Amino acid sequence: MRRRILDAAKSLFVRKGFDNVSMRGIATAIEYSPAALYRYFRNKREILTVLREEGFERIVEAQREGEEQIPDPLERLREGGRGYIRFALHEPEYYHLMFCTGCHEVNLEGACASNSMESFNLFGRTVTECVDAGCFGNVPVEAAIFALWSALHGLANLVHTGRVAILSADKDFDRLLEGILAFSLRGATPHPAK
Amino acid sequence: MRRRILDAAKSLFVRKGFDNVSMRGIATAIEYSPAALYRYFRNKREILTVLREEGFERIVEAQREGEEQIPDPLERLREGGRGYIRFALHEPEYYHLMFCTGCHEVNLEGACASNSMESFNLFGRTVTECVDAGCFGNVPVEAAIFALWSALHGLANLVHTGRVAILSADKDFDRLLEGILAFSLRGATPHPAK
DNA sequence: TCCGTAACGTAAACGCTGTTTACAATGTAA
DNA sequence: TTACATTGTAAACAGCGTTTACGTTACGGA
């Protein structure tokens, strides 16, 4: 039952956006009464929170896959970046659900045990590997993590809000993206130990 | 009159957040009827749009000031970054108004002639100066602009949503910020021409 | 088999929202 | 003074998230 509510809500949220979906709408989609939803979720926001968590689960899975298949941390970083931007570009509503809806209500308590935290940790570990391997020279690890995370997060956001969209339809977008990634990772040497 | 509505709305939006302010609330704040507001603004969103535009005006002013007072483009970039992050950190509601509220409704038509576009252009020009001066070596200008813009935008967003807030209360935040800026601008040589 | 209880579901209502409509008052120009 | 545009309003509309009070069903123990 919970599952049916979540699926209907996800479909509606992704299609019409969080604010344009009402509890009544979700209820009629699964032929239930609006009040019934409150047996399974405290409120509308909780439905979003659960879905968001599921979204992060997908990202974490992709990250783990990358960790297995791409041994070089620097190349893994680059490929992860590509995937993340692709996600923001091709699943805008899903992205919006996860990163833009109710920005202020990011619950750190919940997030500490969550996939979003796990995703960040995986990213941080990859950057740490790069730094330890000397890819960026002698830089503080923490600064490198936040700087690269910011860059990626910011680019995804800009693409999502359409502020880099002037080019996103263009086939040159891929080249620009590669250029941006190259700049963000500029000066990095792939295999300094060899 | 328009001004009075805008001021009341700004004060309320900044204090309570866009969604927690109703047209009725704005109206009673200036002792008007809710319907009267619609003589001056098509709808609630339009009030937000105008206020957002004003916010960008402030940012553009700060940028112009920097352009006058800091001749070195690289140092200007760094100082601009500091200012931007400070803005996101110390005026969270204002920031939210400008960058997070109704992300999807960023109107490119309106934005093309707007301060937000002007702000981006100023930023782009500064980066271009840096690239032309050879600060980053031989890199494509456009990629550099978007990469640095993304990094700054992303960091502000992360700070704002509290995902770097674990440290923002800490006095070490300043050091971390400097580290992040340093990393983002790593390898840049201040005055290569000299 | 019967009963008590817990779980599941609902109709109706509450108090709110953004917005529109119909209408009155006012100021201004001819 | 008359005509008209401007400025304001009360009341209503349709919708919202959520709560309340009340049925209905399922099931374990006597």
Digit-coded pLDDT (tens) for A155-180: 999 888 877 755 555 667 888 888 88
Short-list B50, B74, B76, CA closest to B63: B76
Digit-coded pLDDT (tens) for A140-159: 999 999 999 999 999 999 88
Predicted confidence at residue A12, as pLDDT, reads: 93
Q: Which pair of structure tokens corresponds to residue A143?
A: 């600064």
Contact A71, A129 (CB under 8 A): no
B10 contact partners, CB below 8 Å, separation of at least 6: B51, B54
Digit-coded pLDDT (tens) for A102-140: 666 655 556 656 888 899 999 999 999 999 998 988 899
Higher pLDDT, A93 or A78: A78
Contacts of A164 in chain B (CB under 8 A): 146
Instruction: Map tokens 């957040």 to a residue.
Output: B17
Digit-coded pLDDT (tens) for B90-142: 888 888 888 887 666 655 556 656 888 899 999 999 999 999 998 988 899 99
Name the packing angle between helices B141-160 and B92-99 (round to 10°): 130
Q: Residues of chain B whose C-beta is under 8 A from some C-beta in A?
A: 17, 96, 100, 103-104, 106, 108, 120, 136-137, 139-140, 142-144, 146-155, 157-158, 160-165, 176, 179-180, 182-184, 186-187
Predicted confidence at residue B41, as pLDDT, reads: 94
Digit-coded pLDDT (tens) for B54-69: 889 999 999 999 999 9
Contact A104, B99 (CB under 8 A): no
Distance from CA of A68 to the nearest CA of B (A): 27
Q: Which pair of structure tokens corresponds to residue A93?
A: 């509503």
Weakest-pLDDT range from A6-15, B10-19, B55-64, B164-173 = B164-173
H helix runs in A70-132, sequence order: 73-90, 92-99, 108-112, 115-132
Short-list A154, A183, A153, A187, CA closest to B144: A183
Q: Centre a 10 Å sphere on the Cβ of residue B24 and count the other Cβ atoms it contains.
A: 11
Name the pTM for this structure: 0.86
The yes-or-no verdict on residue B13 having pLDDT over 60 is yes
Predicted confidence at residue A194, as pLDDT, reads: 40
